[in-house]
């Protein structure tokens, strides 16, 4: 069973607030990812990391930022939340491609609503 | 670049009906292929995978065969249950970037 956790599960917040979405995994995976999932279900990669001190922007431009100071922790921060940030955010991790073919393990997600 | 195309939903079936969700892909090389399932209010879970041509992935009564000649990885189940109602995503592993390329998802609704 994969062990990847996200908190909070649900967050309702006002415009202009700073928020941090937490993601932690206990599997020792070097690679971690953040996806934004729109109401139409489609997944968009917004950030990824291949290890400590490594962060890259994904395929969809996002105003959020991420950090990777510890292997197990990959938080996502929005400095000033806006209604356009309302979405479901999913965190994932994976082993090296040579081990598991890039199979990703997903957390339960954080549903963010910005009023 | 690599891409995945899957049939649009929703797919609406009666319990015990046969399910097919089509998935085709475009890729260079020999990607690994996956089906993920997302139940309401949850994250994605791996349903099955296939790592080379002609491999058949199977789990919980679902099956999919990696068909290189037709670049397809269709998901099938012989008899669906109400509990199978979920969103299903087809994905491939991009060998150049270590990323997964996802299809747009297909919602399945099964009624008693």
Query: Is the pLDDT reported for residue A97 higher than 70?
Result: no
Backbone angles phi, psi at A59, to 5 degrees: -80, -25
- N-terminal to C-terminal alpha carbon distance within chain A: 36
Cα B88 to chain center, whole Å? 6
Substitution target in A5, A41, A96, A110 with the highest count of B β-carbons within 10 Å is A41
Alpha-carbon dihedral sign for residues B27, B7, A59, B66: negative
CA distance B43 to chain A (A): 4
**Percentage, residues of chain B above pLDDT 90:** 82
Q: What average pLDDT does this structure show over A16-27?
A: 96
B97 lies within 8 A of chain A by CB: no
Give the chain B residue whose CA is nearest to the CA of A107: B43
Exposed / middle / buried, residue B64 (Cβ in 10 Å: 0-12, 13-18, 19+): buried
Taking a C-beta distance cutoff of 8 angstroms, is the pair A34, A89 a contact? yes
pLDDT of residue B96: 75
Cα B12 to chain center, whole Å? 16
Q: Single out the residue of B76, B77, B99, B74 nearest to residue B7, CA to CA.
A: B74
Distances A55 to A58, B56, B88 between C-alpha atoms, Å = 10, 35, 29
Rounded to whole angstroms, the Cα distance separating B46 from A103 reads 8
Secondary structure string (H, E, C) spanning chain B: CCEEEECCCCEEEECCCCEEECEEEECCCCCCEEEEEECCCCCEEEEEEECCCCCEEEECCEEEECECCCCECCEEECCCCHHHCEEEEEEEECCCCCCEEECCCEEEEEEC
Taking an 8 Å cut-off on Cβ atoms, the answer to whether A31 and B98 are in contact is yes
Lowest model confidence (mean pLDDT) among A28-37, A50-59, A96-105, B94-103: A96-105
Give me the residues of A, 13-42, that contact B with CB < 8 A. 31, 33, 40-42
Taking a C-beta distance cutoff of 8 angstroms, is the pair A46, A65 a contact? no
Q: Of A6, A41, A45, which is closest to B104 when you measure between CB atoms?
A: A41
Structure-token match 């922007």, residue found: A57
- Average pLDDT along chain A: 92
Q: What average pLDDT does this structure show over B57-83?
A: 97
pLDDT of residue A17: 96
Q: What average pLDDT does this structure show over A86-103?
A: 85
CA distance B15 to chain A (A): 24
Taking an 8 Å cut-off on Cβ atoms, the answer to whether B100 and A104 are in contact is yes
């Amino acid at each position: 069973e994969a062990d990847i956790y996200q908190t909070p599960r649900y967050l309702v917040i006002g415009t202009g607030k700073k928020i941090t979405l937490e993601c932690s995994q206990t599997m020792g995976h070097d690679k971690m990812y953040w996806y934004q999932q729109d109401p139409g279900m489609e997944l968009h990669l917004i950030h990824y990391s291949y290890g400590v001190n490594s962060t890259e922007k994904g395929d969809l431009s996002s105003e959020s930022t991420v950090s990777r100071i510890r292997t197990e922790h990959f938080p996502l921060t929005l400095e000033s939340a806006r209604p356009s940030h309302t979405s479901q955010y999913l965190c994932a991790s994976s082993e090296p491609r040579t081990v598991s073919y890039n199979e990703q393990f997903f957390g339960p997600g954080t549903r963010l609503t910005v009023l | 670049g690599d891409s995945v195309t899957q049939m649009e939903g929703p797919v609406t079936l009666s319990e015990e009906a046969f399910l097919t969700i089509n998935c085709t892909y475009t890729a260079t090389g020999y990607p690994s292929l996956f089906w993920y399932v997302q139940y309401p209010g949850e994250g994605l879970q791996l349903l099955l995978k296939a790592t080379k041509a002609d491999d058949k992935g199977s789990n919980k009564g679902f099956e999919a065969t990696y068909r290189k000649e037709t670049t397809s990885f269709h998901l099938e189940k012989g008899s669906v249950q109400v509990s199978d109602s979920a969103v299903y995503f087809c994905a491939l592993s991009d060998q150049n970037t270590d990323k997964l390329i996802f299809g747009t998802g297909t919602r399945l609704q099964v009624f008693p």
